[in-house]
């Protein structure tokens, strides 16, 4: 079987713009997921049982159901409830952010819990409030420790964002599908798509490794 290089060449621009959209979805989802994750992660350690339980229910529900089903829920089920169509881009970002938030929350909870209890006690004994101690003492130390798992979450999100192709959102995977529908060149296009994903994930993992090194030396 011949490998059609020319087809790949012609498809690259279209695939790359798709990859740009993949990066956009991923970056936005990880950003919002991170914002959600900080609040939920801290809420998992709250004194009030109600807050703790609410956070745990969210994390359990999201981690216990497939992202694909969550995307369907946001895109197909939610409109039935609110009575209007949901924009695919918003649906994609919402589903991925809410999904990522649960995983980030667990990373942040574990990061906070890995910091010695004496740090919180020392902060409180100096008259700092719980919030101040978290902000100035516990969180900065926890963040250094959670850089590697956060990097993993970023990479996982980038790959999982391919799932939003099912609601017709034209990111990298969907672009590949569309080209194949026209040309039947499955092998060429899927290989090209895989390599573009690989380049993106390798770039992120290098970046994370760099951050990790930098924070280790400067403390």
The binding site for other proteins (CB under 8 A) comprises 116, 118-119, 121-129, 132, 136-137, 140-141, 144, 219
Nearer to other proteins, 129 or 186 (CB): 129
Rounded least distance, CB 209 to other proteins, Å: 21
Q: Which residue do the tokens 């059609």 mark? A: 4
Rounded least distance, CB 128 to other proteins, Å: 6
Rounded least distance, CB 214 to other proteins, Å: 14
Tell me if 164 sits within 8 A of 92, measured CB to CB.
yes
CA distance 132 to 13: 49
Rounded least distance, CB 49 to other proteins, Å: 17
Nearer to other proteins, 10 or 125 (CB): 125
Q: Which of 65, 68, 72 is nearest to 86 (CA)?
A: 72
Residue 201 Ramachandran class (φ > 0 left, ψ -120 to 50 alpha, else beta): alpha
Tell me if 134 sits within 8 A of 42, measured CB to CB.
yes
Nearer to other proteins, 119 or 183 (CB): 119
Tell me if 169 sits within 8 A of 24, measured CB to CB.
no
Tell me if 171 sits within 8 A of 161, measured CB to CB.
yes
Rounded least distance, CB 89 to other proteins, Å: 39
Rounded least distance, CB 124 to other proteins, Å: 7
Cα dihedral: 135, 107, 162, 186 (round 10): 130
Tell me if 164 sits within 8 A of 71, measured CB to CB.
yes
Nearer to other proteins, 45 or 191 (CB): 45
CA distance 3 to 158: 28
Nearer to other proteins, 28 or 51 (CB): 51
Nearer to other proteins, 64 or 127 (CB): 127
């Amino acid at each position: 079987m011949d490998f059609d290089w020319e087809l790949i060449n012609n498809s690259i621009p279209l695939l790359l713009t798709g990859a740009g959209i993949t990066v956009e979805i991923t970056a936005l989802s990880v950003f919002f997921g991170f914002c959600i994750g900080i609040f939920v992660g801290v809420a998992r350690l709250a004194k009030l049982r109600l807050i703790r339980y609410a956070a745990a229910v969210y994390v359990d529900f999201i981690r216990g159901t497939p992202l694909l089903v969550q995307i369907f829920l946001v895109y197909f089920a939610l409109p039935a409830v609110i009575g209007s169509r949901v924009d695919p881009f918003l649906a994609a970002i919402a589903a991925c952010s809410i999904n990522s938030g649960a995983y980030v929350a667990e990373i942040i909870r574990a990061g906070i819990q890995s910091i010695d209890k004496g740090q919180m006690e020392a902060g409180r004994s100096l008259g700092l409030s719980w919030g101040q101690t978290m902000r100035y003492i516990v969180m900065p130390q926890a963040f250094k420790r959670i850089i590697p798992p956060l990097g993993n979450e970023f990479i996982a999100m980038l790959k999982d964002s391919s799932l939003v192709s099912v609601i017709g959102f034209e990111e990298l995977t969907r672009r590949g599908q569309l080209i194949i529908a026209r040309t039947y060149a499955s092998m060429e296009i899927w290989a090209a798509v895989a390599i573009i994903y690989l380049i993106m994930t390798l770039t992120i993992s290098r970046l994370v490794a760099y951050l990790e090194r930098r924070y280790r030396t400067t403390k």
